Structure 1
Amino acid sequence: MPEMKTPYQPGTPCWIDLVVPDQQGALDFYARFLGWSGEIGPPETGGYSVCMMQGKPVAGVMSAKAMGDEPAPPTMWTTYFASDDADATERAIGQAGGAVLVPAMDVMSLGRMLIAADPTGAVFGVWQPKEFHGVGLANENGTLVWNELNTTDKDAASAFYAAALGLETAPMEGAKDYFSLQAGGRTVGGLQETDRPNTSSHWLVYFSVEDADRAVAELTECGGEVVHPPFDMEAGRMALVKDSQGADFAIIAVRAPGTA
């Protein structure tokens, strides 16, 4: 079901957000490219924008200026994993060799969050829901469809996410050197060891599009950049791209099961 109405199972990617130098520029880009709607939020939330599609939350966008005197993070999408207890997950992250970058904190009455990095350097978030569960619409054109860890050390990453988030790694059928991440026996993401030069470990978000070739043409018209042009792979036709401020993401036209 693309519409999410209940809390996510612990260990499942449940939210994504982006910190950018130009918040309004990002809102304009994703509105034009993916069809999202969103506006800069009130001062009490640091201006945080919750982007919507079909009346459902799909992603967050925040201005780097809201960080105040803190160093601005890189312009990149962050994947958040659901947790029943953010403080317990924070302890598990430390015990498994990860680094907590932003300790667990309340986000008003919406939930409790933290930011961390795995032992190979990939940054991710943890979200304990209260009033806000996370992504309300997924797996439809213009929305989140996949979360993937590109890591410099597959074995270290696999051991970490098993210990910290309860995610099990298994070979992905039909995809050489690609692995599924499973929460409670259900596939919730992917993992591969990166071989791209000068690439550090990172989480990559995928957005669904109807036609990958048409989408990259539209992306460049919106000010984005194509990193790897569309190519066919097991799940469909995809491309690696950047938005107008340099944040990496992937687009994919998912192939229907049983089609060539």
Structure 2
Amino acid sequence: MRHFVLLILFLAGWCPGAAIAASRPDAWSGWRNPRFQTLDGAEGLPHATTTAIVQSSDGLVWIGTRGGLARYDGQRVKVFRQAAGRRDGLPDNYVRSLLPLANGGLLVGTNVGGLVRFDARSDRFVAVVGAAGVGMGARIMAITSDAAGGAYIASDRGVFHYDVRRDRVDPFTGAGSALAEGPMPCIATATARSMPEGTRGCSCVVPVRTGSCPSPRPRSAMSGRSRATRPGGCG
């Protein structure tokens, strides 16, 4: 009889707690069955072919396409397109690469219009100082962070460095370097164990003259300083 009474008391104390726990909302319920929303021409996307997607520091999603640059705030899509005669507009509708900056800005690499920086405060595109003078070329293949607020830029003329403090582009390598041989569609993100001497961030940049990523090359083939490794994202 005593054990029966103890069981009754246990159930009386446990059941209310279980009922309260069951009535609490599940904070993860919205993530257990994720839903995907399609952004297409009907939603305002400027082109069906998407080339790059990044999220800026203010939470906005930027989508590069072959027909313009789109900014998505979760509800609306704003499109930026090339406009004739505008010096503060997008220089080319074909956006190849994007990189968000910590200050809310965005580096935009295009197919034939070179590199520009989107200024979030003025809501316009700004030409990057030095981009034309250093012979960076008009086709930007890839952009990656240098782990110090700036970026490394691969173009059809070689590899260049963007200094965020000076807001300018400088050559990353000197004449005769293997990194200045030609088109550079592959750049890997920095790692502390494999970066060129005197830099912070560029771990793997390999010249590519074909449409596919190459196998690693010997150390001597990378101008004697850089460690040649397979670029991130390469098969």
TM-score (norm 1): 0.27
The one of the two structures with greater contact order (alpha-carbon pairs below 8 A, sep at least 6) is 1
**Structure 2-normalised TM-score?**
0.29
